[in-house]
Amino acid sequence: MGTKSTAAPKRAVFASPEEVEQAFYEALRLGDLMRVMNTWADDEETVCIHPGGERLTGTSAIQASWQEMLNSGPIHIHAHHPVVITYGMTVIHIVIEEVQANTPRGNRELLFYATNVYHKGRTGWHLVHHHSAPAPSDVLLSEMHDIPNLLH
């Protein structure tokens, strides 16, 4: 007769920021909260801001927010067009998120700009910050591109 382990699942070790990002978006598409949280650093100085949401600080608050979002099922999301900025052991990815969502107007493609910050610590690369905000509603993914030298 087998025994059930009560130990916490082994923490994922990621070799690169790209590997973390791929695992993060895949976990959202699978609707798997534990996989989502394995991409995050186990640190109370992590921050997550969902579109139109509050600033969430720390693992517990971030996990509760993703749990609430995933209660409705998997998120049909893909990240495109990364801009990558590297500062030693910290890497920033600015991506365009394409989300398929059921709305009162039917199934629609929604676009968001997201900033994902990754840091390499003792246990490899992990997500330490995610901030997503709606992209302009009149722009299509196929038309999105960076405008050089544009200040805001």
Q: What are the structural domains of the chain? A: 17-142 (3.10.450.50)
The string of DSSP letters for 34-92 reads HHHHHTB-S-TT-EEE-TT--EEESHHHHHHHHHHHHTT---EEEEEEEEEEEETTEEE
> pLDDT (tens digit, 9 = 90+) per residue, 119-134?
999 999 999 999 999 9
> pLDDT (tens digit, 9 = 90+) per residue, 2-22?
443 334 456 678 999 999 999
- Give this prediction's pTM: 0.84
Sign of CA dihedral 135, 59, 68, 4: positive
